[in-house]
């Protein structure tokens, strides 16, 4: 099963190269890789052209939302993956995605691979293992030995990259919302749009794994107030959406149901919107 993999990158050539190399080396299927190159003054644009990688380009940093939307216009396959450039895919990552897609019985879903991260933030959706935080300290051999041996069950609450949706729903929802540029809270917003479109399968795939070096681009941007924008747009806090709607981090038990008894949460959101 072939995927169209969208990767926005901003003067992060060493990580972007490692990410693409891992896709080529560790994937069971031959996928379409699409870069959106922001600025590219570090040689990323020339490298992508030399490698024959599908790409879009803006001379300045367009932010995540505009970047993934522009790159999405080049997608050739039925399923779109949004991935960060500071990720390294582990062997069989795409095999387990393909299995889940075939078993879903619908094209209305939002899947995530499971991230392996070096810094432990006690995130129940993440595996904590330190195999390096930089290109120079990356222990690729150690990661490859261990990555598929660590127990991790499927989890509920997919929003974080790598995220997988059907191209149909990418188009229905309009992709990522550019009013949240450069992108803080855009993952939750996209998940909320999927919920509004009828999606109730928000599944983190425990056996599909990527190593995430963590925040190699987001630390350089001036961030939007995503929490407030989410609240004003959807009339609820992100925490409400994550806890009561998609139940992020809980064991996966199947399609989600409409939450009940949220009167107090709705009142709190109404008060915050008035402040």
Taking Cα atoms as reference points, which of 183, 180, 199 lies closest to residue 191?
A: 199
Residue 128: give its domain's CATH number.
3.90.550.10
Chain length of the chain? 275
Q: Would you say residue 257 has pLDDT above 70?
A: yes
Q: For tokens 């990767």, what's the residue?
A: 7
Q: How far apart are the first and last CA of the chain?
A: 49
Q: How confident is the model at residue 224 (pLDDT cuts 50, 70, 90)?
A: confident
Q: How confident is the model at residue 38 (pLDDT cuts 50, 70, 90)?
A: very high
- Alpha-carbon distances of 35 from 21, 59, 72, rounded to whole Å: 13, 14, 10
The pTM score is: 0.92
- In this structure, are residues 79 and 101 in contact, taking their beta carbons and an 8 Å threshold? yes
Q: What is the structure's pLDDT at 265?
A: 61
Q: Considering its fold, how many domains does the chain have in total?
A: 1
Q: Would you say residue 1 has pLDDT above 70?
A: yes
Distance (Å, rounded) from C-alpha 215 to C-alpha 82? Answer: 15
Q: pLDDT tens digits, residue range 118-129?
A: 999 999 999 999
Distance (Å, rounded) from C-alpha 179 to C-alpha 148? Answer: 38
For the ranges 16-20, 33-37, 260-264, which has the lowest average pLDDT?
A: 260-264
Distance (Å, rounded) from C-alpha 82 to C-alpha 8? Answer: 9
Distance (Å, rounded) from C-alpha 160 to C-alpha 10? Answer: 19
Question: Which residue range(s) make up the domain with 252?
Answer: 4-274
Q: Name every residue whose Cβ is closer than 8 Å to that of residue 65 and which is 6 or more positions away in sequence.
A: 175, 176, 177, 178, 180, 181, 182, 183, 186
What single-letter DSSP state applies at residue 90?
P
Q: What is the structure's pLDDT at 184?
A: 84
Distance (Å, rounded) from C-alpha 252 to C-alpha 256? Answer: 9
């Amino acid at each position: 099963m072939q995927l169209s993999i969208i990767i926005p990158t901003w003067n992060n050539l060493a990580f972007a190269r490692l990410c693409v190399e891992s896709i080529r080396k560790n994937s069971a299927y031959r996928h379409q890789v699409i870069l959106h190159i922001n600025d590219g003054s570090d040689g990323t644009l020339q490298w992508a052209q030399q490698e024959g990688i599908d790409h879009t380009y803006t001379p300045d940093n367009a932010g995540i939302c505009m970047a993934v939307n522009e790159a999405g216009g080049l997608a050739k396959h039925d399923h779109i993956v949004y991935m960060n450039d500071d990720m390294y895919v582990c062997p069989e990552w795409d095999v387990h995605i393909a299995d889940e897609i075939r078993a879903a019985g619908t094209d209305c879903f939002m899947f995530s691979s499971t991230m392996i991260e070096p810094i432990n933030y006690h995130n129940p959706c993440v595996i904590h293992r330190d195999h390096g935080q930089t290109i120079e300290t990356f222990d690729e051999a150690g990661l490859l030995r261990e990555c598929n041996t660590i127990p991790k069950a499927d989890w509920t609450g997919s929003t974080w990259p790598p995220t997988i949706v059907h191209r149909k729903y990418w188009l229905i929802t309009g992709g990522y919302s550019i009013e949240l540029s450069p992108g803080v809270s855009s993952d939750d917003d996209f998940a909320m749009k999927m919920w509004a479109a009828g999606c109730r399968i928000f599944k983190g795939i425990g056996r599909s794994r990527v190593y995430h070096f963590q925040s190699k681009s987001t630390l350089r941007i001036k961030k939007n107030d995503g929490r407030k924008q989410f609240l004003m747009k959807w009339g609820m806090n992100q925490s409400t959406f994550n806890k009561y709607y998609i139940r992020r981090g809980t064991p996966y038990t199947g399609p989600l149901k409409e939450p009940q008894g949220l009167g107090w949460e709705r009142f709190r959101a109404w008060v915050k919107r008035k402040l």
